[in-house]
Amino acid sequence: MPTPIIAGNWKMNTTVREAALLASHLRGSLGGVSGVEVVLCPPFVSLAEVARTLEGSPLKVGSQKMHYDDKGAFTGEVSPHMLLGLCQYVILGHSERRRDFAETDAIVNRKVRKAMQVGLRPILCVGELLADRQADREEAVVSASLRASLEGVTASESLVVAYEPVWAIGTGLAATSQQAQVMCALIRRLLSEQFGKEKATAIPILYGGSVTPANIQELASQPDIDGGLVGGASLNAAQFTQIVVTTASVRS
């Protein structure tokens, strides 16, 4: 079983000052927690400050996105090399980027391969829309997206996958632990096909979508759920701490 991961996706929230304050609180409350890898993903402009705040602690830093090229005329973008040294993880293919910034599976695939090549750990997000679930095609949609996003990827050691059903994000309507387990087990099967069973067993698969201190225990108890990608609740130090502590106790 992989070490569970709880990652906080702060999205477009917090000023640099607020980000440093939140990171400092979490360093205080989570610096001593073992058995769970904690990753904070602040906005770009706060990456350096948050990295400084967490220096010497076990807490890790992640970016919320990344360009796939090394450098060049891409106004407003940030390259993988710029992220190295600031963070260890990068969230790729989040549904908000797919929906609002036209990130396709093909683009996500280039980013995943690039992140791995430079030594960043990708947290690859996949998930179905409400309409997909209502039409009973969630498994087909997630399978196709995962396969396309991982095309040509041969090494799995640094990979993290997050199952985030779009209908559960920011709605307060989390998937049931059973729904989440079914989809994470499907993802594990697909990863086995690509990388072999042993390697697939070692890849952390996270659930994301309205994770709270109230539902994390049941979610993290599922055999194929190795932690969470947390949005709203990650902005609240007490709630995020509770989510991490509960995960640690479930998985210890």
Residues interacting with ligand 13P, by CB under 6 A? Answer: 9, 94, 164, 169-170, 208-211, 229-233
The least CB distance from residue 3 to ligand 13P, in Å, is: 20
CA distance 62 to 22: 15
Nearer to ligand 13P, 208 or 227 (CB): 208
Burial of 93 (0-12, 13-18, 19+ CB in 10 A): buried
Residue of this chain nearest to ligand 13P (CB atom):
231
Q: How far is the CB of 172 from ligand 13P (least distance, A)?
A: 8
Please identify, using beta-carbon distances, which residue of 195 and 246 lies nearer to ligand 13P: 246
Q: Which is nearer to ligand 13P, 9 or 53 (CB)?
A: 9
* Integer Cα distance of 61 and 47 in angstroms: 8
CA angle, residues 133, 211, 132, in degrees to nearest 5: 10
Give the other-Cβ count within 10 Å of 145's Cβ. 21
How far from 69 is each of 77, 109, 118, 190, 199, CA to CA, in Å? 10, 13, 11, 28, 28
Residues noted as catalytic: 94, 164
Q: Which long-range contacts (CB under 8 A, 24 or more apart) does 22-30 make?
A: 22/235, 22/237, 23/49, 23/50, 23/53, 23/54, 23/59, 24/53, 25/237, 26/59, 26/237, 26/240, 26/241, 27/53, 27/54, 27/57, 27/59, 29/237, 29/238, 29/241, 30/59, 30/241, 30/244
Minimum distance, C-beta of residue 101 to ligand 13P, in the bound complex (Å): 14
Q: What is the nearest approach in angstroms of ligand 13P to the Cβ of residue 208?
A: 4
Compare residues 80 and 232 and give the one whose CB is closer to ligand 13P: 232
Q: For ligand 13P, give the closer residue by CB, 88 or 210.
A: 210
* Nearest distance in Å: CB 228, ligand 13P: 8
Determine which helix (DSSP H) or strand (DSSP E) holds 41, and give its type and residue range.
strand 37-41
**Rounded distance between C-alpha atoms, residue 108 and residue 94, angstroms:** 9
